[in-house]
Amino acid sequence: MSVLILDKVTGGYSVKRPVLQDVSFQVEKGQMVALIGLNGAGKSTTMKHILGILQAHQGTVRVGGVTLEEDAGKYRSTFAYVPETPILYDEMTVEEHLRFTAMAYGLDKGEAEPRMRELLDVFQMTPQKDKLPVQLSKGMKQKVMIMNAFLVRPKLYLIDEPFLGLDPLGIRSLVQMLVQVKEEGSSVLVSSHILPAIEPHCEQFVVLQQGKVLVSGDLKDVQQKAGMPDAGLEDAFLSLVTEGRAI
């Protein structure tokens, strides 16, 4: 079952100069899919179309089997989003952010409380649970965003450059948590430049360049498109985007 489907999406900020051109890919249940590309390739624009911040000029986006227009409630409740830049409430502590998220999503208190404690422990944030955002480093703020997403346990996680600002322990904790939720049946679409961290855990890769999909498939597909059958993801990706293959 496809949790997320982009079907021939063309869009962006201007109808006359679309950023995305005929972008198609899907994320199946229990899959982790990486959306990769150089700066300006269209990754963030793709995420904004999925989130509903931007509307496609052509094509459709389906989340949980529906478009935003068909059922906005089901569409939005299917996913949790972790943005590249942390967005927190200035006067709420770390723990209050988690409690607010639990309340907003109607989570059962008996289930939410132990999950909050687990997440605070896994991401080494228990000592910071009573601190305000102004007292946190960028990496700690990012951890708060990540913890809020994992607290909800949605069907789909949309994660944009999650490793920025995280220390090595934070990166390892995040990767382990992504693997865990995937094994539990959730799906993940992750956009990242840190390819070695995500390569072993992704079933599919979508390589974007100048708003177009260069290749969408597993590692072998990326290697084949790059003409490098024995290369790692990073080397194959760099070959594709620097030599202009497959455009």
On whether both 53 and 121 belong to a single domain, the answer is no
Rounded CA separation 132/94 (Å): 7
**Does pLDDT of 232 surpass 70?**
yes
Report residue 164's pLDDT band, with 50, 70 and 90 as the boundaries. confident
148 and 225 housed in the same domain: no
Extended beta strands in 117-201, E state:
156-160, 187-191
Read off the pLDDT band of 154 (50, 70, 90): very high
Element (H, E) at 110: helix 109-122
**Residue 9 sits in a domain of what CATH number?**
3.40.50.300
The residue segments making up the domain with residue 197 are 2-78+154-243
Count of domains in the chain? 2
pTM for the structure as a whole: 0.91
127 and 221 co-located in one domain: no
Same-domain check for residues 13 and 74: yes
Tokens of 67: 């478009």
pLDDT tens for each residue of 178-199: 999 999 999 999 999 889 989 9
* Residues 141 and 169 placed together within one structural domain of the fold: no
State whether residue 72 is helix, strand or coil. Answer: helix
8 membership: H or E segment, kind and range: strand 2-11
Kindly indicate the confidence band of residue 247, based on its pLDDT and cuts at 50, 70 and 90: very low
Has residue 244 got a pLDDT over 80?
no
**Same domain (yes/no): 165, 229:** yes
Provide the pLDDT confidence category of residue 246 given band limits of 50, 70 and 90. Answer: very low
- Looking at the fold, whether 61 and 175 belong to one and the same domain comes out as yes
